[in-house]
């Protein structure tokens, strides 16, 4: 019997070492090494994909005629990928369990009326059929399904069937015959992903690979996985809400400034046609403690509603908590309000919630967050159809944001009447929509005086 070979792998970058080390010499992370059994036997060739004849070519002689992209029925996904899928590309789709990864890709294959193969190590064929019937009234007879988890078999099936699209659900369930560690371990993921990439490049079959996500939002397995594939998409959203946001994290064939929005419904995921206002709760009466901000997700302006609750702290230390917003940034904004603007919030509990259940990173939401807090503290509501788009600096000044014209147009399009922006923003009086009043301010107090007086 061949001797078992053990090795240590860095869970961050996939670096392999024969001995345990505290610090990874490749990526300098601490305590990332885990032990795994790697090979059952030594083999000269461990790849299932046949090697293509290759020799160096002159770059000028490389056939520059681009292979046509494969256009999907889902226009949102086409746009996100930079205008369809490149033949032979490998797309990694990450996201929390239950967010809708399997549904999205199943739907994609059901809409694609050519040979497709869905490999699922997660669910049985019956479960998938059941789900497919919920999504689509007819199942095309070019749709193939397999519950195989052995990568060698999958490569064999793909070579026989030559599908136009291949989905792997998920990379964490795949197993390489020559590697002894459990499915989902670093060496398994690395080897299986390597095989899939080779398969895609030699056959031109585009492959979608689902990847699980860890507690802190990273795609489980080595970071290496993200380096290996061509496109990384991230599926986000809150389970309690029906909205899902698909974000391009890496794209070798397009830019990553795009997002796609979907609604999870009974019959699967539907693209949202007019995403501008989907995060607004649409209440009728005006309540204190809410303010609308205009943020940019990639290149797309979105209106978001920030809700704040300010109340006297019952216990000694006031609580500050935020959902969908960085707590550190919230603390910074509260400190600015206290020190620079003279609002006494030091002994207050402050709770902040961004409606819609997704996390915002655009600092252009600062002014809206601050106004929601002040509105709650004073218990005065902000007039309807009022929005904010500015960042707050440490000195309390109201600072300009990028692509302001685009944000103004979006607010005007959605019927907003008044938009507070920074006085220092350049060319805000260019070609602006007539229906909206743009109010330039340099201090938070100016907005307070105008709205709460």
The answer to whether 401 touches 422, Cβ cutoff 8 Å, is yes
User: Is 102 an interacting residue with respect to ligand TYD (CB under 6 A)?
Assistant: yes
Cβ closest to ligand TYD, residue 101 vs residue 190: 101
Select 38 or 128, whichever has its Cβ closest to Mg ion.
Answer: 128
| 134 touches, from Mg ion, ligand TYD, none (C-beta below 5 to 8 Å by class) | ligand TYD
Cα–Cα distances in Å, from 329 out to 89, 172, 289? 38, 35, 18
Residue 237 or 248: the one with the smaller Cβ distance to ligand TYD is: 237
Q: Which of 11, 12, 102, 181 binds Mg ion (CB under 5 A)?
A: 102
Which H or E element spans position 247? strand 243-251
* Residue matched to tokens 């070979």: 5
Decide if residue 221 touches ligand TYD (CB under 6 A). Answer: no
Residues in 126-145 that interact with ligand TYD by CB under 6 A: 131, 134-135
The answer to the question of whether 99 is labelled as a binding residue is: yes
CA-CA distance, 192 to 3, in Å (whole number)?
22
Residue 221 neighbours by CB distance under 10 Å: 25
Output the CA–CA distances (angstroms, integers) from residue 241 to 46, 332, 352, 356, in the order listed: 45, 29, 18, 7
CA 85, 87, 92, 95 dihedral sign is positive
Return d(Cα 207, Cα 276) in angstroms, integer.
32
In whole angstroms, the minimum distance from the beta carbon of 192 to Mg ion comes to 17
CA-to-CA dists, residue 250 to 134, 259, 319, angstroms? 32, 12, 37
Kindly state the smallest distance separating residue 268's Cβ from ligand TYD, in Å.
Answer: 4
Question: Is 152 assigned to a binding site?
Answer: no
For residue 442, say whether it is annotated as part of any ligand binding site: no
Euclidean distance between the first and final Cα of the chain, in Å? 85
Q: Which stretch binds ligand TYD (CB under 6 A): 16-24, 95-103, 214-222, 400-408?
A: 95-103
Query: Which of 14, 100, 275, 293: binder of ligand TYD (CB under 6 A)?
Result: 100
- Should residue 427 be labelled a site residue for ligand TYD when binding is judged by CB under 6 A? no
CB of 252 to ligand TYD, least distance (A): 24
CB 389 within 8 A of CB 416: no
- Tokens standing for residue 351: 């709770």
Binding segment toward Mg ion, per CB under 5 A, in 66-74, 99-107, 261-269, 407-415: 99-107
95 is in an annotated binding site: yes
Smallest gap from residue 91 Cβ to ligand TYD (A): 15
DSSP letter string over 361-401?
A: --GGGHHHHHHHHHHHHHT-PPPTTEEEE-EE-TTSBEE--
339: left (phi over 0), alpha (psi -120 to 50) or beta: alpha
Of the pair 131, 450, the CB lying nearest ligand TYD is at 131
Q: What are phi and psi of 317, to 5 degrees?
A: -90, 125
Number of residues that bind ligand TYD (CB under 6 A): 15
User: Considering only 100-108, 148-156, 347-355, 377-385, which stretch makes contact with Mg ion by CB under 5 A?
Assistant: 100-108
Given a contact cutoff of 8 angstroms between Cβ atoms, the answer to whether 245 and 263 are in contact is: no
- Is 417 marked as binding a ligand? no
Is there a binding annotation on residue 289?
Answer: no
**DSSP string computed for 181-233:** SPTTSHHHHHHHHHHHHHHHHHH---EEEEE-B-TTSPBSS-THHHHHSSEEE
**For residues 97 and 217, which CB has a smaller minimum distance to ligand TYD in the complex?**
97
* Least gap, CB of 100 to ligand TYD (angstroms): 4
3-state secondary structure (DSSP) of residue 286: coil
Nearer to ligand TYD, 97 or 383 (CB): 97
- Count of residues of this chain found to bind Mg ion when the rule CB under 5 A is applied: 1
Q: Which of 95, 275, 289, 356 binds ligand TYD (CB under 6 A)?
A: 95
User: Is 160 known to sit in a ligand binding site?
Assistant: no
Whether the Cβ atoms of residue 48 and residue 220 lie closer than 8 Å to each other: no
- Give the one entry of ligand TYD, Mg ion, none that residue 301 binds, where binding means its C-beta sits below a cut-off of 5 to 8 angstroms depending on kind: none
In terms of CB distance, is 89 or 107 closer to ligand TYD? 107
CA angle 349, 354, 355 (to 5 degrees): 125
Minimum Å distance from CB 178 to ligand TYD? 29
What's the rounded Cα separation, in Å, for the pair 77 and 108? 9
97 in contact with ligand TYD (CB under 6 A): yes
Q: Which residues from 238-277 bind ligand TYD, rule CB under 6 A? A: 264, 266-268
Binding site per annotation, positions:
95-102
Residues in touch with Mg ion (CB under 5 A)? 102
Residues in touch with ligand TYD (CB under 6 A)? 95, 97-103, 131, 134-135, 264, 266-268
């Amino acid at each position: 019997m061949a001797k078992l070979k053990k090795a240590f792998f860095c869970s961050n970058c996939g670096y392999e070492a024969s001995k345990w080390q505290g610090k990874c010499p490749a990526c300098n992370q601490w305590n990332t090494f885990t032990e795994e059994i790697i090979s059952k036997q030594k083999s000269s060739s461990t790849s299932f994909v046949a090697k293509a004849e290759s020799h160096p070519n002159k770059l000028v002689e490389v056939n520059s005629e681009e292979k046509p992209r494969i256009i999907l029925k889902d226009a949102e996904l086409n746009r996100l990928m930079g205008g369809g899928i490149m033949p032979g590309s490998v797309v990694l789709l990450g996201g929390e369990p239950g967010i809708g990864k399997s549904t999205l890709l199943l739907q994609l294959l059901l809409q694609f009326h050519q040979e497709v193969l869905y490999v699922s190590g997660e669910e049985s064929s019956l479960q998938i059929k059941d789900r497919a019937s919920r999504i689509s009234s007819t199942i095309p007879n070019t749709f193939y399904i397999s519950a195989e988890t052995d990568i060698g078999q999958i490569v064999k099936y793909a070579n026989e069937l030559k599908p136009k699209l291949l989905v792997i659900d998920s990379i964490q369930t795949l197993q390489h015959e020559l590697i002894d560690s459990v499915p989902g371990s670093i060496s398994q993921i690395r080897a299986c992903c390597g095989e899939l990439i080779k398969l895609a490049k030699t056959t031109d079959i585009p492959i979608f690979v689902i990847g699980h996500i860890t507690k802190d939002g990273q795609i489980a397995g080595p970071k290496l996985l993200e380096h290996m594939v061509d496109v990384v998409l991230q599926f986000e959203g809150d389970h309690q809400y029906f909205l899902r946001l698909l974000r391009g994290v890496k794209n070798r064939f397009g830019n990553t400034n795009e997002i796609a929005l979907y609604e999870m419904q009974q019959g699967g995921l539907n693209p949202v046609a007019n995403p501008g206002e989907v995060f607004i709760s649409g209440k009728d009466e005006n309540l204190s403690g809410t303010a609308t901000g205009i943020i940019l997700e990639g290149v797309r302006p979105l209106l978001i509603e920030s809700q704040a609750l300010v109340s006297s702290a019952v216990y000694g230390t006031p609580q500050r908590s935020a959902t969908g917003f960085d707590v550190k940034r919230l603390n910074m904004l509260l400190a600015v309000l206290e020190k620079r603007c003279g609002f006494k919030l030091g002994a207050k509990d402050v709770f902040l919630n961004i409606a819609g259940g997704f996390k915002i990173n655009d600092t252009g939401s600062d002014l809206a967050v601050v106004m929601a807090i002040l509105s709650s503290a004073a218990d005065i509501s902000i007039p309807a159809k009022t929005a904010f788009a500015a960042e707050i600096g440490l000195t309390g000044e109201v600072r300009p944001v990028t692509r302001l014209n685009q944000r103004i147009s979006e607010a005007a399009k959605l019927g907003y009447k008044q938009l507070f922006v920074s006085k220092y923003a350049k060319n805000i009086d260019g070609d602006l929509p007539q229906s909206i009043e743009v109010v330039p301010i340099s201090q938070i107090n100016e907005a307070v005086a105008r709205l709460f007086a």
